[in-house]
Structure 1
């Protein structure tokens, strides 16, 4: 016989309490489902972050390569004298508002830094310039980073045609990226 008495259900002299709230099993199932959702969201965040870092690394390499290439091509094209010796590319050209206070020839030297800037940045391509003479070590400034230790080389392959080679830092799969391009000295090309 069921008799309700003060919120209790009585069954043949046994008292059963009315259940309110979650049971332990329901709570554990909810926690497991929540944990799976949080782990999935964390995995998506981590994948997005890794993709962002890879794209950022590739963008930095592309920017370094583009800037270095454009700078060297511009100077080699208008140069009166170009020489590569001991890892340094020396370019001399008539001053065209490139260097204030110099009425004659500007001499620029491009070379890699003597040590890596950092493990993430690699070696930098440095440039120094002086009026009428090669610059001293004190006047070299970094242009761009992301190069390997021996990642800069130039060679004159024909009269006035220079082959410039860059080797950029290793990427995610530890393979270095090598790029070679040609720059033509206009003064020698029209002779």
Structure 2
């Protein structure tokens, strides 16, 4: 039976790592993993911020293109509240009636939702305001449409579009003659 100590049986080049070497290697590996995780989290946060900005741009674009365009060419503009929330009811020149309604919880992650003729179109804003009385009379052909976005920090960003209702403006000009 061979009673030689391990140091004699296994030369230095054939021995494994010592405990200190393994602890150092694990610490270095942990630092690398933490750094990679942090980079991953920064990437996700940037992607979410980009998505929020894209959603805001979509809301503004839709409001500017659709709602503003319909207000411009509407024969009558009616603004009111009912059991489903605030609504802007537009009677267009071809006799069609279009209803823009926004409802939901402005404090939720998705914010308010905009419905056109009962169909959900977009969400992500905290307030949409078309002031009652500003768009409904011929004397007030200039109609402000305000869209507000709120972020998680409680800060708000407001955009106001001033829309001229062409039909009401023409009626006001004709009544002055």
Q: CA deviation at 1:39?
A: 0.7
Change (3 A) 1:15 1:174: closer
Shift of 1:109: 1.9
Residues of 1 paired with 2:124 and 2:156: CA distance?
Answer: 11
- Gaps of at least 5 residues in structure 1 are 1-5, 9-13, 96-104, 129-139
If you compute each CA radius of gyration, which structure gives the higher value, 1 or 2? 1
Partner of 2:92: 93
Q: Does 1:159 align with 2:140?
A: yes
Query: Does structure 2 conserve the Cα–Cα contact (< 8 Å) formed by 1:151 and 1:166?
Result: yes
- Aligned with 2:101 (options 111, 122, 133): 111
Instruction: Give the paired residue count.
Output: 157
Equivalent residue, structure 2, for 1:102: none
Report the Cα distance in structure 1 between the residues aligned to 2:54 and 2:44, rounded to whole angstroms.
15
TM-superposed CA distance for 1:117, in Å, is 9.5
CA contact 1:82–1:90 (8 Å) conserved in 2: yes
**Normalising to structure 1: TM-score of the pair?**
0.71
Change in Cα spacing, 1:55 to 1:76, as seen in structure 2 (3 Å) is: same
**Aligned twin of 2:58:** 63
**RMSD (CA atoms):** 2.7
The 5-angstrom pairing of residues 35-46 of structure 1 reads 35-46=30-41
- Is 1:186 matched up with 2:173? no
Structure 2: unaligned runs, 5 residues or longer: none
Give TM-score, length-normalised by structure 2: 0.76
Indicate conservation of the 8 Å contact 2:130/2:143, yes or no. no
